[in-house]
Amino acid sequence: MSVLSKSLILDRLKLEIDRPESLVVTPFDESALDLDSLDLRLGHHFLFPKLPAEGAINAQDRGPRSDFSVHIPFGQPLVLPAHQTVLGMTLEFIKLPYDVSGQILTKSSIARSFLVIETAPWIHPNYRGCLTLELANVSNSTLILNPGMRIGQLILLSIDHPDPNGELSGAYVGPVRPEAAPHQSSHKH
């Protein structure tokens, strides 16, 4: 496995969209490319958790929760209180090739404000969708976030022995807005 360089990323972006080795990032801003990564921006849809009446959530019971969705227009701030977490999305829609996986990391300038953007940073080959960001304010202060701000770095890695017939499957295929965990009962029959 090796990290794709700026020139390899650009080569993949120039391929026809229907080719299995093509990379799609839209909207694309070439100034977001670094030597070995691509900056991603914060989208404008967020999913806030509501606290249940009993004050606790059973992590194994992914049953219906009363989360609520919020749209923050460009030019307006998202206020994230200290020690709070919200689900957000990248502004960019991503299509990974069959032979590339990715990892999203918090930009160091953002991390220095004690904001963590991911807890599940791995992106599988053939992924399509906007990336969900777990925005966790681990500071003692309220943070102001603005849709459109550069928030993460996408690192792309080539796979040594890719499966050209592999298909992406799972609960989160093609998201364009933050999604709560799917319903999954913890009771076994």
What are the catalytic residues? 134
Phi-psi region of 82 (alpha: psi -120 to 50; beta: other; left: phi over 0): beta
Q: Are 79 and 86 in contact (CB under 8 A)?
A: no
Q: Are 131 and 91 in contact (CB under 8 A)?
A: no
Strands 115-116 and 128-137: antiparallel
Strands 128-137 and 85-95: antiparallel
> Which is nearest to 104 in space by CA: 90, 114, 93?
90
Phi, psi values for residue 29, rounded to 5°: -125, 110
